[in-house]
Amino acid sequence: MMHHLESLDGRLLFAIPKKGRLYEKCLEILAGADIQFRRHHRLDVCLVLNHPIALVFLPASDIPSFVGKGNVDLGITGHDVVLEANMQNFVTETLRLGFGKCALQVQVPEAGPIKTAQELAGKRIVTSFEVLAGQYFDKIDKELGLVGDAATQIEYVGGSVEAACELGLADGIVDLVESGDTMRAAGLHAIATVLTTEAVLIKSTTPKHPHLTPLIELITSRIAGVIASSKFVMCQYNIPRGKLEEATSITPGRRAPTISPLEEEGWVAVSSMVEKGKSATVMDELVKIGAEDILILKLDNCRV
């Protein structure tokens, strides 16, 4: 995998999930941040063409360890993976990226008698997240006084976790739920949430290559801009000055709206970033208070 390691000297090492639910979105993030590269087939390291960066494609579960204890400077992985790897003291989550959102949930057979996590305590649980599941049920075991052989049994499996109950390996599971389709297809339902998670940009808490700090900050800023441009649109409108306070309460912007006087006396133009999902409601509310010429403009990229 690691071809020509000597060519990586002096480059920022940036770890990207090599496959799975985060991979395609990561490619979009890199393109939006103008990180240009050409990945050759079957090679998991490639050099960025327009920056002194090497991209390293790794399993998402390994990335926190490579960033926290290895020589990798930046990485994209899941918040849940950072905690499962016990790397929260070694890496810093610099940005939440807004994709890969899901929940780590306790699940049991829908037709079974168990309805709460407390009722599942002391029984058999199968999971790929034995650290997080262990911490969650350790607290419940202590509350219920379950120790020794009576304590909850956590068993690790690397895949097909949702089949463990039907195949007689477990009374319940702890697994990630995104849409819930897989869970329902396996006849399971969620009875508790261990944590919610999403993709995060991480860096080493202790910088390994201080001379790369400006480049790390540049890439972080660019990625923050890409994320913001996917979440926000620009709303522009004209409003009577007497309605300005009411209008800016509707469109406060990320920090503050931009307000400019118009040649027509008593009117101002307002420009403000609003959340994309709320843009229709914002426009309706602006119309009600007398705003005119309301425009919603898509953001291709930005810096925030």
Q: Which residues pair with 232 in a beta bridge?
A: 275
Q: What is the reported pLDDT for 7?
A: 62
The residue to which tokens 């097909």 are assigned: 160
Structure-block tokens of residue 149: 């052989």
Domain architecture of the chain: domains with CATH: 5-100+199-208 (3.40.190.10), 102-197 (3.40.190.10), 232-298 (3.30.70.120)
Residues 170 and 174: their CA atoms lie apart, in Å, by: 10
Residues 183 and 177: their CA atoms lie apart, in Å, by: 7
Query: Is the distance from CB of 280 to CB of 215 less than 8 angstroms?
Result: no
Query: Is the distance from CB of 267 to CB of 279 less than 8 angstroms?
Result: no
Angle between helices 213-231 and 23-32 (to 10 degrees): 110
Q: What is the reported pLDDT for 264?
A: 87
Q: What is the reported pLDDT for 208?
A: 86
Along the chain (304 residues), what's the average pLDDT of each consecutive run of 10 residues?
58 92 90 90 86 94 95 96 96 94 95 93 95 96 93 92 92 93 92 96 92 95 92 95 95 92 92 94 96 93 79
The residue to which tokens 């702890």 are assigned: 174
> ∠ CA(212), CA(207), CA(91), 5° rounding?
125
Q: Exposed, middle or buried, 91 (CB in 10 Å: 0-12/13-18/19+)?
A: buried
Q: What is the reported pLDDT for 22?
A: 87
Q: What is the reported pLDDT for 268?
A: 96
